């Protein structure tokens, strides 16, 4: 199984997990931000469980900036999202005019929408989409779409996944293969 598949499987197993009490989760405990909004902590926990390196995205704008700096960012309007991409959200009319939520893409529907697994969102459209208290699978818009899904994704960060059985990088010439010195 490829690393991206492991990442998606970890996230999928968490669907339905609910915070108890508010903003208290194993994800927040993992990032040492328990008691705070935890969508970014959820992404980082899933990545850690699958051995995937992702930028620190506890503060979602900083996570997006890290992907931009690494050159692995796609703006939503020109994006071709792939499973395992990290979706960054700015929900219109939520009172927070910046990236304020993050999730994991599990499928691009090819129509301007993607399926994501997100931590700390509402399982339906009625509750808070960026502080809803549950891990949920959500249909989200990133371009104008016929499904009428609100465009809330501003961009995608793409982690660098290892393929199945991929060997670790070779040490630099003259370096010890064990310790790297």
Dihedral (C-alpha) 124, 129, 132, 133: value to the nearest 10 degrees? 100
Question: pTM (2 decimals)?
Answer: 0.89
Q: 3-state class of 153 per DSSP?
A: strand
Asked if CATH classification 3.90.1720 holds for the domain at 3-157, the reply, yes or no, is yes
* Structure tokens given for 133: 């208290």
Contact 138, 11 (CB under 8 A): no
Instruction: Taking each helix axis as running N to C, give the angle between helix 39-50 and helix 3-14, from 0 to 180 degrees, rounded to the nearest 10.
Output: 130
Q: Would you list the domain boundaries of the chain?
A: 3-157
pLDDT in tens, the chain (181 residues): 699 999 999 999 999 999 999 999 999 999 999 999 999 999 999 999 999 999 999 999 999 999 999 999 999 999 999 999 999 999 988 889 999 999 999 999 999 999 999 999 999 999 999 999 999 999 999 999 999 999 999 999 999 999 865 544 444 454 444 344 4
Whole-number pLDDT of residue 179: 41
Whole-number pLDDT of residue 163: 81
């Amino acid at each position: 199984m490829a690393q991206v598949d492991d990442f998606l499987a970890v996230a999928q197993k968490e669907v339905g997990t609910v915070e108890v009490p508010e903003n208290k989760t194993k994800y927040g405990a993992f990032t040492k931000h328990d008691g705070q909004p935890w969508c970014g902590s959820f992404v980082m926990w899933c990545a850690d469980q699958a051995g995937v390196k992702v930028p620190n995205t506890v503060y979602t704008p900083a996570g997006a900036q890290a992907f931009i700096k690494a050159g692995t960012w796609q703006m939503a309007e020109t994006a071709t999202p792939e499973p395992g991409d990290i979706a960054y959200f700015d929900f219109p009319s939520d009172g927070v005019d910046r990236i304020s939520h993050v999730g994991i893409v599990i499928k691009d529907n090819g129509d301007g929408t993607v399926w994501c697994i997100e931590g700390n969102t509402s399982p339906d459209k009625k509750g808070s989409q960026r502080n809803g208290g549950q891990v949920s699978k959500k249909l989200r818009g990133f371009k104008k779409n016929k499904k009428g899904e609100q465009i809330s994704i501003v961009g995608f960060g793409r982690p660098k996944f290892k393929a199945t059985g991929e060997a670790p990088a070779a040490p630099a010439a003259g370096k010890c293969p064990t310790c790297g010195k």
